[in-house]
Amino acid sequence: MQGVFITGTNTGVGKTHIGAAIAHMLHNQGVKVIPRKPIESGCPMVDGELIPRDAQALKEAACYEGSLSQVCPYRFEPPISPVRAAHLANKVLTTEQLVSNCLTDSENGFVLVEGAGGFYSPLSEDGLNADLATALQLPVLLVAEDALGVLNQVLLNVEAIKIRGLTLVGVVLNQLREEQDPRMDNAADLREHLDCPVFSVGHQSEGFARLPDALIERVLTQHDRRRVARIVG
């Protein structure tokens, strides 16, 4: 299937912010986007129903005609790790169940899957975000907060992604804080150590993130390259 797996160096780094912007731009280019966030915790209760805000944002950005339950079937109220939240709800979820959700309708468009937490965060009873990404075999986009300490975080995550044998689309440095030290240039520093593109996204409090066109092109061309490789192989 065609698509991308969006993961982060940690929770709260802006995966949904970046994922929604990608979904929005792809939709505007005529690409049918199938958003998936198979499990989400920290969901508020609205009119007796748990609402997964991240999944809802992805659905709206992609103008996805499917239901919110298709985007995110497993929802939990406590703002804690999905696995712990599932335990508290007396539910046992497996990586296979999450994979099944991501594969549904996957042949009909570009599947945009967002994990929960960081790449090595537990996601199900028997697996991490890394295990879901490996099972899906989608190219991975790594999102990190553009802040002090991100160099170590990104380099560790990139190594973990490569150990899994996954294709790394690139790294997105997301500026969450309005003010940051002007002497810092994490993107330039990371480019000295990585052989993949590093994209910077400036602080934006409202609306879709302004993404570089090169990022969208990179996301799409990864699939063209993989398809050619399979045909040649």
| Catalytic sites, residue numbers | 37
Do the beta carbons of residue 97 and residue 137 sit within 8 Å? no
In sequence order, what are the residues at sequence separation of 6 or more whose Cβ sits closer than 8 angstroms to the Cβ of residue 27?
33, 61, 62, 63
What are the phi and psi torsion angles at 185 (to 5°)? -140, 80
174: which strand partners?
145, 201
Helix, strand, coil % over all residues of the chain, rounded to 5: 40, 20, 40
Q: Left (φ > 0), alpha (ψ -120 to 50) or beta: where does 14 sit?
A: left
In sequence order, what are the residues at sequence separation of 6 or more whose Cβ sits closer than 8 angstroms to the Cβ of residue 54?
15, 16, 37, 40, 72, 114
